[in-house]
A = this chain, B = another copy of it.
Amino acid sequence: MQKELKVAQIGHKFIGKAHAYAYSNAGFFFDLPVRLRKKVLCGIGDDLGKIAEQWGFEESTQDWKEAVQDQEVDIVDICAPSKIHKEIALEAAKQGKHIFCEKPLAMNMEDVREMLAAVEQAGVVHTVGFNYRKVPALAFARQLIQEGRLGTIYHFRGLYSQDWLTNPQFPLAWRLRKEAAGGGSSWDLGAHVVDLSRYLVGEIEEVVGQQTTFVKKRPVAKYEDGLTAIAGEELGEVDVDDASSFLSRFEGGAVGLFEVTRYGTGHRNQNQIEIYGSEGGVIWRGFEKMNELEYYRTKDPATSQRYRTVQIGEADHPYVSAYWPAGHIIGFGDTFTHEIVDFVKAIVNNIKASPSFEDGLKTQAILTAVDLSVAERRWVSISEI
């Protein structure tokens, strides 16, 4: 008889939906060594029960402790607001549950260190929601780099552009208040780009940055849901950054150029990654073109060199052979499926998951260094943090 892993998921908004989708589809597409059961969905709001049913959870509860302490539960999946990540994770570790926690792990370095210590002490498997690693095109980029097919890496560029704040009349949503969001564009978008840079190129040594709040006062929101919000009449202050840019140096000698912004007019969700090496280069253009990787080889004949837009979907590309024949793309939600697949395999094989809370900590250290660099207007070494 096949073993099961039972899941308690805390959070049922945008990212919660993606997690639930992943638990539904991981076993459908991939041959998992265990069966996943969506045991309980935890959240707040009148529609919780309806959503739990629609998403295929067996139960629902408004009390996260009850869910985490449930003896039957094997996995605690945390996609609740960042402010309560730590408290849930500590309890889950105490209960011996494996933990999947969304990014950012917590609001500051101390909390993250505490969380990492707790999961290590408990001996549970832990992972953090850097789902870009699970985009097949980016996993393939890493293969190319690991196999030396780009040679020595010179440049990393990560430019993440959203545009939902372009209009100065857009309301002061919760993401624009430090108290609720913990940080601005740097923490929200920058976390993904920094993790990717580590995944693809290696460790960062030092940074210097600049952060800007272009529109300092915005109408307070009368109503908000996800990235949708309706402006009220009063004005309130934006106390997080709208955009954050920084320069970095990697251990291997490569240089990094980072910019994340919510004012990248016309780009709903573009995350452009460029990596240039002595034997090749790759460019990825974000979730809207997530199944494409542009690839250049210096060894092609000069008359027919140039970037080719590889459509990820061939049998030997990571993850995708579980889906459809070449030429039939997968979507955003499927990257969460890959997170679950890898997490489940780590649990079953009792190995460290990738990315782990340690990766979460390292990324948080870099973002903290950027903040310090901005505050003190100087280069900051990651080792200072």
Contact = CB atoms under 8 A, between A and B. Distances in A.
A316 B379 CA distance: 46
Contacts of A290: 329
> Which interface residue of A159, A277, A310 has the most chain B CB atoms within 10 A?
A310
Nearest to A247: B210
Given A24-B25, A257-B257, A327 B266 contact: no
Contact of A266 (B166, B268, B276): B276
Interface residues of A, number: 98
Contacts of A227: 325-326
Contacts of A377: 208, 378-379
Contacts of A304: 295, 297, 308, 310
A266 B208 contact: no
A381 to B, nearest CB: 11
B310 A14 contact: no
A280 interface: yes
A297 B88 CA distance: 44
A303 interface: yes
A214 B253 contact: yes
A115 B267 CA distance: 44
A28 interface: yes
Contact of A265 (B54, B140, B212, B296): B296
- Assembly stoichiometry (copies): 4
Contacts of A302: 314-316
Interface string A1-41: 00000000000001001101100110110010000000000
Nearest to A307: B266
B269 A327 contact: yes
Given A245-B247, A311-B288, A154 B263 contact: yes
Contact of A278 (B150, B166, B297, B324): B166
Contact of A332 (B161, B255, B328): B328
A181 B52 CA distance: 44
26 contacts: A21-B25, A24-B28, A27-B54, A28-B56, A31-B54, A140-B303, A155-B264, A157-B159, A167-B298, A208-B208, A245-B247, A265-B276, A265-B277, A265-B278, A265-B280, A286-B327, A288-B291, A288-B327, A300-B308, A302-B316, A305-B314, A323-B332, A324-B332, A328-B331, A329-B329, A330-B331
Q: What are the 9 A-B residue pairs with the smallest beta carbon separation, nearest first?
A: A269-B327, A268-B327, A266-B296, A331-B331, A265-B281, A308-B308, A328-B332, A265-B276, A330-B331
